[in-house]
A and B are shown apart, each in its own frame.
Chain A
Amino acid sequence: MSAILSRTGNKTKTALGLGLAAALLILPLVIRDEYILRICVRAGIYVLLAVGLNFVAGFTGMLSCAQAAFFGLGAYCSALLSLNLGLSFWVAMPISGLFAGIFGFLLGLPAIRLAHFYLVMVTIAFGEIVGLVFLNWESLTKGPFGLPGIPPPQIGSYVYVDNTPYYYTILALAAVGVYVAWRVTQTQMGKLFIALKDDQLAAEASGVPVSRYKITAFTLSAVYAGVAGSFFAHYMTFISPGTFSTNESIMILAMVVLGGMGSITGSVISAAVLTIIPEAMRFIQDYRMMFFGGIIVAIMLFKPEGLMSKGRYALKRET
């Protein structure tokens, strides 16, 4: 009985997913409003950032407040590669992902050994140091003035101008990001992530090299942020240090917490919703940060497991 129920449940889910995919694909053809498309592009960037952070904060339960720093590292790396070496977005993007990933690995090495408080502080300190480097290494980053004139992506002779091509690019990137995260949850690694979040000591006693998996999670999450940063740089064509602050990191963390730590669907939905709501409701706009802070507190008080609390990897559960 329950098997039949869950199968129909899966069918509805598949139908819902396909419908959503179709809607997302034709959206720019139906809504030709640049403002709305811009919000959608932003939402896509945050989806990538949140799904990435979910590897660390969600799957393994380590609270990282450095996601915006990796975002910035990806953005600056990509911008500088384009501006100084003339590399195209398509080449600079994977390099930026790797570049951020290396920093994720390096931060992960010490960070994974720390208890919660210290982990939060070290990731915040790391983020602040990265921000200070953007601000003060003026010969490279032009400091507080930022880097203008980052070339937009180009396919052949077609240069991205309006929001539509950006929309499809970030949609593809986010789709790949979500897909990869989902596949990871399907493998032994996904189960290991949950195991070490449930009981780290028992995981070690079961022969699991916990540190290795935590570092992997850190690295993966930084790669996601690096790719998002690269896209962001070429989308805005201008970046400055202020964008990649600790507050931004906390905002991304809020998305993961709201979505239900460990739920990919939750991260996607809450990243999209938390980007769209403040944009859509003008009166919230000025209180955007307060809104985010309030949401974190409220979630902890009323539903600490997050909105999508069913199952630790909500896209799955086929049986």
Chain B
Amino acid sequence: MSLLEIQDLTMTFGGLRALDQVSLNVEEGEIVSLIGPNGAGKTTVFNIISGIYNPAAGRILFCDRPLHGQPMWKIARSGIGRTFQNIRLFSSLTALENVRISLTAHLRYSVLGSVLLLRSSRTAEKRFDSRAREVLDLMGLEQRTETVASSLTYGQQRRLEMARALALEPKLLLLDEPSAGMPTHETLELMETVKGFRERGITIFLVEHDMKMVMGISDRVVVLDNGIKIAEGTPDGVRNNPEVIRAYLGEEDL
């Protein structure tokens, strides 16, 4: 059984076909990259998995259960964390608080307890904070716990967004162009971080433009072009696939 099974996914926007019967699997423990020219429908696949869009046809199974029709938050809680192409943090919360938000699913708290100043509520708050700190440590943000998200550097914001997704304790992590706008040395660090996720037992599904990163860490690569899956295989196999080369003609990557 695959961790994530996408079957014949079709999506239309106002009559335009964004995805056309795309099928793909992500096995547990894999790092799979989804690549393709701009507008190929990569982010659309992510948005359907996380429940932002409802597909026109097709279905998605996660751990053998269909995701269709479930609200976003339930999908997230069932074990699918994600980041966004254009970083979406809670800009007025601190780094620590940003991570705390994702912990809602895993830790209990009581508002009434807080109003009545019960000890239990104070320990609950402490639990939230210490758990969030652990995750921030993991992402190398331990020095930035009290910094408001909007004043972090770009690279720190990227890492914070991953920390927030990590705090969900996901089985599957969707990373939407994590290396976008990063200098090369940071991308190398990022690759190590992503490999580290896999060692923690998290399966990675990646949308990425940076071919060095894709070729460097992926077990498998899936290629989309104009909403159609045109190739799938090992990084080397895909790199030499004539159809992929044709799709990328005119783009200077690869």
Given contacts A202-B84, A204-B71, A207-B168, contact A188 B104 (CB under 8 A): yes
Binds A, one of B57-65, B91-99, B180-188, B192-200: B91-99
Is B100 in contact with A191, judged by CB distance below 8 angstroms?
yes
Given contacts A187-B121, A201-B52, contact A319 B111 (CB under 8 A): no
Bitwise, B105-139 to A at CB < 8 A (1) or not (0) is: 10101010011010001001100100000000000
CA–CA, A188 and B102, complex, Å = 11
When the two chains form the complex, which single residue of B88, B93, B101, B125 contacts A201, counting CB atoms closer than 8 Å? B88
The smallest beta-carbon distance between A292 and chain B, in angstroms, is: 28
The smallest beta-carbon distance between B164 and chain A, in angstroms, is: 6
Cβ–Cβ < 8 Å partners of B222 in chain A:
none
For the A-B complex, the count of residue pairs with Cβ-Cβ distances under 8 Å equals 95
Is B77 in contact with A186, judged by CB distance below 8 angstroms?
no
The smallest beta-carbon distance between A239 and chain B, in angstroms, is: 30
Is A207 in contact with B92, judged by CB distance below 8 angstroms?
no
Cβ–Cβ < 8 Å partners of B128 in chain A:
188
Residues of A in contact (CB 8 Å), total 26
Cβ–Cβ < 8 Å partners of B146 in chain A:
319
Cβ–Cβ < 8 Å partners of A91 in chain B:
none
Bitwise, A287-304 to B at CB < 8 A (1) or not (0) is: 000000000000000000
The smallest beta-carbon distance between A51 and chain B, in angstroms, is: 14
Cβ–Cβ < 8 Å partners of A199 in chain B:
88-91
CA–CA, A61 and B117, complex, Å = 27
Asked if A268 CB lies within 8 Å of chain B CBs, one says no
Given contacts A199-B90, A206-B102, A319-B146, contact A184 B73 (CB under 8 A): no
Bitwise, A166-188 to B at CB < 8 A (1) or not (0) is: 00000000000001100110111
Asked if B9 CB lies within 8 Å of chain A CBs, one says no
Residues of B in contact (CB 8 Å), total 39
Cβ–Cβ < 8 Å partners of B73 in chain A:
204-210
Given contacts A201-B52, A205-B72, A208-B101, contact A187 B93 (CB under 8 A): no
Asked if A194 CB lies within 8 Å of chain B CBs, one says yes
Is B76 in contact with A206, judged by CB distance below 8 angstroms?
yes
Given contacts A191-B101, A205-B50, contact A184 B114 (CB under 8 A): yes
Asked if B158 CB lies within 8 Å of chain A CBs, one says no
Asked if B82 CB lies within 8 Å of chain A CBs, one says yes
When the two chains form the complex, which single residue of A187, A205, A206, A210 contacts B125, counting CB atoms closer than 8 Å? A187
| Nearest-CB residue, chain A, relative to B146 | A319
When the two chains form the complex, which single residue of B77, B104, B164 contacts A192, counting CB atoms closer than 8 Å? B104
Is B92 in contact with A312, judged by CB distance below 8 angstroms?
yes
CA–CA, A183 and B109, complex, Å = 13
Cβ–Cβ < 8 Å partners of B103 in chain A:
188
Is B102 in contact with A184, judged by CB distance below 8 angstroms?
no
CA–CA, A189 and B125, complex, Å = 11
Is A195 in contact with B101, judged by CB distance below 8 angstroms?
yes
Bitwise, A199-243 to B at CB < 8 A (1) or not (0) is: 101111111111000000000000000000000000000000000
Question: Contacts A198-B92, A207-B105 given; 12 further ones with Cβ under 8 A?
Answer: A183-B115, A188-B124, A191-B93, A194-B93, A198-B89, A204-B51, A204-B76, A206-B165, A206-B168, A207-B73, A208-B73, A210-B73
Residues of B within 8 A of A (CB): 50-52, 71-73, 76-77, 82, 84, 88-93, 97-98, 100-105, 107, 109, 111, 114-115, 117, 121, 124-125, 128, 146, 164-165, 167-168
